[in-house]
Amino acid sequence: DSGVTQTPKHLITATGQRVTLRCSPRSGDLSVYWYQQSLDQGLQFLIQYYNGEERAKGNILERFSAQQFPDLHSELNLSSLELGDSALYFCASSVGRDNSPLHFGNGTRLTVT
């Protein structure tokens, strides 16, 4: 068990809808990262927050947004969902701001129908 908690484990929704994925980092970790894993794109970095502030941004769509709250948990909001957004979404955390080392949650499998 990595200590990173993600909910829900599975999510099935329809095109055009909006969903929120939640992540609690390991105790003591200040950074939270979001990744998307799909068969065609592999593991893609979306965004990182460090102690409540956005620190790095990857290939995150404008329809997606995230935030990190004062208690350090994070939420990833996906809106106007499309079939192509179906993927495994991972949250990871680390102690510092510098990607080292990353500990991943078990992921949320999103299916858009």
Partner 1 sequence: GIQVEQSPPDLILQEGANSTLRCNFSDSVNNLQWFHQNPWGQLINLFYIPSGTKQNGRLSATTVATERYSLLYISSSQTTDSGVYFCAVEGDFNAGGTSYGKLTFGQGTILTVHP
C-alpha to C-alpha distance for 52 and 74, rounded to whole angstroms: 9
What's the closest the beta carbon of residue 16 comes to partner 1, in angstroms? Answer: 27
**Residue 55 lies near partner 1 (rule: CB under 8 A):** yes
What's the closest the beta carbon of residue 23 comes to partner 1, in angstroms? Answer: 14
What's the closest the beta carbon of residue 79 comes to partner 1, in angstroms? Answer: 23
Strands 108-112 and 42-50: unpaired
Q: Which residues contact 61 (CB under 8 A, 6 or more apart)?
A: none
Sign of CA dihedral 47, 37, 8, 110: positive
- Name residues contacting partner 1, limited to 77-96 (CB under 8 A): 88, 90, 92
Residues engaged in binding partner 1 (CB under 8 A): 2, 42-45, 48, 55-56, 58, 88, 90, 92, 98-104, 106-107, 109
